[in-house]
Structures are given as C-alpha cells and as structure tokens.
Amino acid sequence: MSTVQETFATTKSPSTELPAGKSNALGRNLSLLILLVMLVVPLFVRNFVIFQITMVLIYGIAVLALNILTGGSGQFSLGQSAFYALGAYTSGILMEHLGVNYALTLPVAGMVCFAAGFLFGFPALRLSGIYLALATFALAVAMPQLLKLGIFEHWTGGVQGLVVTKPDAPFDLPISQDAWLYYFTLAVTLVIYITSIFLLKSRSGRAMMAIRDNEIAASAMGVDVSLYKTLAFGISAGITGIAGGLGAIAVQFVAPDSYTIQLAIALFLGMVVGGVGWLPGSFAGAAFIVFVPNLAEEISKGLSGAFFGVLLLVVIYLVPHGAKQVATFAESLIDKLRKT
C-alpha cells in the first residue's frame, strides 16, 4: 500500500527525465529539408547503400514503436524482436503461401501484431519496471524457438525459414528494385511517423504520457490506466509488426534466428541513443545500430564487439539524452547565431 504514498512523493524513473523541450517532433522547415534529402539520396549512392538506408528506416520504425511504449506510456520492453518476427512471418507467409501483394501484407502484419501486443499487455499490467522488462525478455527468447516448432513447419519453413520474393518497381518505372523498395519504405515510414506524432499530441497520447509521469494522478483525472497501457502495448507491437513485414520484404528472407534477443536489445539501444520519448531520434538511433557495428568491424575484425561497446559508452557518456540532446543544442546554437 505504501507505494501510493511513494508515488506522491517521488517523480519517476530516470528514463522519463527528458531535457526540457516543447514537442516530440521536429520543426516544419527542418522536416521538409530532411524529406527532400531523403527523396534525392538514391540518385547519388550505390544500391547497397540504398539497401542500408532502407534498413535504417525499417529499424527506425521499430525503434519509434518502442519509443511510443517507453517514452510515451512509460513501459519497458525487451521483447520487441518477438513482434518484429511475428510481423515478418505474417508478411512472408501471406506473400509466399497465399500470393498476397507485398504492400497489402503490411496492414495485416500490423493488425496481427496489434492484437498480440494488446493481449500481451494484459498480464504485463501486473508487472512494472524491471519485472516487465524480464517478462518481455522471456517473450523475445521464446519466439525463435516457437518459430522452429514442427507443427508450424509447413507454414514457417521451420529452421530453414522462408525465402521472400523481392518486388519490382510498378508501372515499369526505370528504377532498381532496391530504389523502389526504398521509396516504398520511405512512404510507409512517413505515414507511421506522422500518425504517431498526431497520436502523441492527442487526447489519447496525453493520457499515455500522464500514466508515464504519474499513474495515480492520471487515474484521478479519469484516465483508464489499464486500457491505455494495453493500448500502448498494442500500438507499439502493431507498428513493430509493420517494420518486421517491411524487413522481410527488404531482406527477402525470414528465419527464426534473425529475430533473437539481440535484435530486441539493438532496438532498445536505438531508442536510448536516439533519446527516449523523442520520435525523430528513433531514426538517428536506428542509423547508429545499422552503421556503428560496421564501423567497429572496420576498426578491428576480431574485437568489433568491444569497439562497438566503447563507441556506445562514449555516446552515452557525452550525450546521455541521445540525439534529442544534440538537436536541442543545435537549435539553441542556431538561435544564438541568428541573434548576433
């Protein structure tokens, strides 16, 4: 019972102590500039780089989903890889077994994962903080094994997994498969990014953030804490599922061991590096988890893991609030320059 009194007295966990900032989005001009750069980038880089940037967007969506859960509603998850896998397999199975168009598999993957996340959210309601992290961890560990089970083998391809066909550009557009997939992913990313920002700036989003900041006060204001916590889980899982589906299409392959706990940890890292609760940071975080391991590998093949760890520590030490902090700093710098 004494938790009630503690909640009155203390403000919450460190993850929610964001540096002061007015919004969880970028300014309009900067957003448009970034969009413009994103639109022309494929014209100037090799196909492999286009593929890498596509993966940044896909992981960015998954990190954003985690950000809605943790930054938005204050719940932790180390199990996002499970929802990512579920989305990937949903898309893969629909495309390869049932011949469904790749674009149409994404909403289905999203809905399947929303349902799964919402249902998982119910037992998760009884857990908080580190216990919730442990429960989601268990989910992430169990998922690859479930996918290998013999009874699903006809659909999942068992240990071998499924090969997914890469889509061609429609309307005979004169662009490579990689470039087309990039633009397709960019469009999906935009829709998810904008709707997520709308959500967080709405009555529902405020209810979630209120829960994150103070559950008891939120419920005294009429916020149904259980409902919004499970909804946050559902939304987060649904968006992660869409990322998983996109990932399956981009990588052209789904297999149980692509979706281990390592993926979940990578997404968690991406969120921390990008800044918890700041949606644009999700993509900076995703860039970190896509490119920095390569960088570490270039420094030393044998010790790439160690170098990755060192780089991560440096980032966390220098900018504990991640990309959000860098952006806030840059903003104030520009303000100063304008004034002088």
Partner 1 sequence: MGSRPAQQFADPFHVIAPTGYAVMQAQVAQGTATAAAPLLTVRDVSVVFGGITALNGVSFDMQKGQVLALIGPNGAGKTTLFNCLSRLYQPSAGDILMDGVSILTRPPHRISEIGIGRTFQNVALFPNLSVLDNARVGAHSHTNSDIISDSLRLPRSRSVEVAINKKVLRILDYLELTHLAHTNVAGLPFGTQKRVELARALATDPTILLLDEPAGGLNHEEVYVLGDLVKRIRDERHITVLLVEHHMGMVMKIADHIVVLNFGRKLAEGTPKQIQNDPEVLKAYLGDTAK
Ligand X SMILES: Nc1ncnc2c1ncn2[C@@H]1O[C@H](COP(=O)(O)OP(=O)(O)OP(=O)(O)O)[C@@H](O)[C@H]1O
Tell me the CA end-to-end span of the chain in Å, nearest whole number. 56
The reply on whether position 1 binds ligand X by CB under 6 A is: yes
Annotate 317-331 with DSSP letters as a single string: HH-TTTHHHHHHHHH
Using the Cα atoms of residue 267, residue 89, residue 240 and residue 285 in order, give the sign of their dihedral.
positive
Residue 92 or 274: the one with the smaller Cβ distance to partner 1 is 274
The reply on whether position 217 binds partner 1 by CB under 8 A is: yes
In the list 100, 111, 141, 225, the residue contacting partner 1 (rule: CB under 8 A) is 225
Q: Which of residues 254-313 bind partner 1 (CB under 8 A)?
A: 277
The entry of ligand X, partner 1, none near residue 16 (CB within 5 to 8 angstroms by kind) is partner 1
Residue 11 or 101: the one with the smaller Cβ distance to partner 1 is 11
Residue 178 amino acid letter: D
The reply on whether position 220 binds partner 1 by CB under 8 A is: yes
Of all helices (H) and strands (E), which one includes residue 254? strand 253-254
CA distance 90 to 237: 13
CA distance 190 to 188: 5
The reply on whether position 9 binds ligand X by CB under 6 A is: no
The reply on whether position 4 binds ligand X by CB under 6 A is: yes
The reply on whether position 5 binds ligand X by CB under 6 A is: yes
In the list 86, 94, 231, 261, the residue contacting partner 1 (rule: CB under 8 A) is 231
Stretch that binds partner 1, among 52-60, 78-86, 204-212, 245-253 (CB under 8 A): 204-212
Tell me the site size for ligand X, rule CB under 6 A: 4
Q: Which of 252, 168, 57 is nearest to 49 (CA)?
A: 57
Q: Which residues contact 215 (CB under 8 A, 6 or more apart)?
A: 7, 225
Q: Are 197 and 28 in contact (CB under 8 A)?
A: no
Q: What is the DSSP letter of 70?
A: I
Nearest approach, Cβ of residue 220 and partner 1 (Å): 5
234 class by beta-carbon count within 10 Å (0-12 exposed, 13-18 middle, 19+ buried): buried
The percent of the chain in helix, strand and coil, each rounded to the nearest 5, is 75, 0, 20
The reply on whether position 4 binds partner 1 by CB under 8 A is: yes
Residue 313 amino acid letter: L
Q: Which of 207, 238, 295 is nearest to 86 (CA)?
A: 238
Give the x/- contact pattern for partner 1 in 177-196, rule: CB under 8 A.
------------------xx
The reply on whether position 2 binds ligand X by CB under 6 A is: yes
Stretch that binds partner 1, among 54-62, 92-100, 165-173, 221-229 (CB under 8 A): 221-229
Nearest approach, Cβ of residue 6 and ligand X (Å): 9
Summarize as ranges the residues that interact with ligand X (CB under 6 A).
1-2, 4-5
Summarize as ranges the residues that interact with partner 1 (CB under 8 A).
1, 4, 7-9, 11-12, 16-18, 20, 22, 195-196, 198-199, 202-207, 209-210, 212-214, 216-225, 231, 235, 277
